[in-house]
Amino acid sequence: MRTVLVTGGAGFVGSHCVASLLERGFAVVVADNLSTGHRAAVPAGAAFVHLDLNDRAGVAALFQRHRFEAVLHFAAKSLVGESMQNPFLYLRENYVTSLNVIEAAVAAGVRKMVVSSTANLFGTPERMPIDAETAIDPGSPYGESKYLVERALLWADRCAGLKSACLRYFNAAGCHPDGLLGEDHHPETHLIPLVLDAAAGRRSHIEVYGDDYPTPDGTCVRDYIHVMDLADAHIRVLDALETRSVRYNLGTGTGYSVREVIAAVERVTGKTVPVKVGPRRPGDPAILVASSDRIREELGWSPRFDTLDGIIASAWAWRAAHPDGYGDGPAR
Ligand SMILES: NC(=O)c1ccc[n+]([C@@H]2O[C@H](COP(=O)([O-])OP(=O)(O)OC[C@H]3O[C@@H](n4cnc5c(N)ncnc54)[C@H](O)[C@@H]3O)[C@@H](O)[C@H]2O)c1
């Protein structure tokens, strides 16, 4: 049986990937400290190890107990704003936890690693879409910490032959089509679940941060990629790692403005979303859209959930059935 380690498998993207791995016949061990994840999000069928990846000896011991074919590393702190407040926490923790995993993987003879990277690697690029040629210039300590991990993996390949895929996601969204897994962050910072909460009356309104950007309706434009399409990319890339390391941008290639997301939520839910327009947030680029041409050409990957309404409908199905999320967070 092909056994893989999934760090952060109790989180939003990681749990969906665990479900896809199990569906495709992999044996899965999840390592997570549940700092932002949920025990109930770990699909039945995966083994769960409660572990903080800052614990270097604990990470090394995990690799001694199992023979992993590959590591899928999702665990990280991932709030851009928090990283601007606490830069050294982000730079240290995301780098050190990743180094602990990379080092233990190399020591155990693991040959493949897939890591969650981010569009924040590119800061505020002048040219859209963001493609394989776009210069890296991280927009925050969070983005910088992910770039440090990408650099560490470059050396892990050169010095020890560990092949890696760094998948630079744009805005992950949507939920598993069977309705069992969803998105439940505390605090929630992602637009789609926030707008869904406003539609459901669990928030008084949605605040739009600036409507004077140089975009068609003045609000920021982002590229929303379904978690199941991200999961598919993680599994496809495992074969490519037989021979080489890769870096891919992952989005649908279509951008939607904040107002378009709100309108889509109103269409899908049939409810009205109260909106208030506030000031811009510092550091928010007007438009972020990915070109995923490289992964499309090299791996034949393409998003199956490629409409905004489809992405939102899957998120709404879970949100409506689980108004308190996984039920282990603070009351909302
Ligand atoms: N969600 C997005 O839109 C998005 C976009 C780009 C990149 N990413 C990256 O994708 C990954 C997953 O994001 P997510 O939205 O699922 O986040 P998440 O917070 O839902 O999941 C992260 C998981 O990692 C665990 N974790 C964190 N620190 C840990 C540690 N020290 N030891 C063990 N476990 C730890 C958490 O408990 C959680 O289960 C992250 O690396 C994030 O930076 C996410």
Extract the residue ranges of the chain whose pLDDT is less than 50. Answer: 331-332
142 catalytic? Reply is: yes
Structural domains of the chain in order of their starting residue, each with its CATH number:
3-173+224-250 (3.40.50.720), 191-222+253-290+305-321 (3.90.25.10)
**What does the pLDDT look like over 90-126, one tens digit per residue?**
999 999 999 999 999 999 999 999 999 999 999 999 8
Tell me the CA–centroid distance for residue 185 and ligand 1, in Å. 10
Question: How distant, in Å, are the alpha carbons of 84, 125, 224 from that of 149?
Answer: 18, 21, 24
Residue-level pLDDT at 332: 44
From the list 95, 142, 169, 224, the catalytic residue is 142
Cα–ligand 1 centroid distance for 73 (angstroms): 9
pLDDT of residue 329: 72
In this structure, which residue's CA is closest to atom 43 in ligand 1?
Answer: 78
Q: How big is the CA angle at 179 (ends 174 and 184), to the nearest 5 degrees?
A: 55
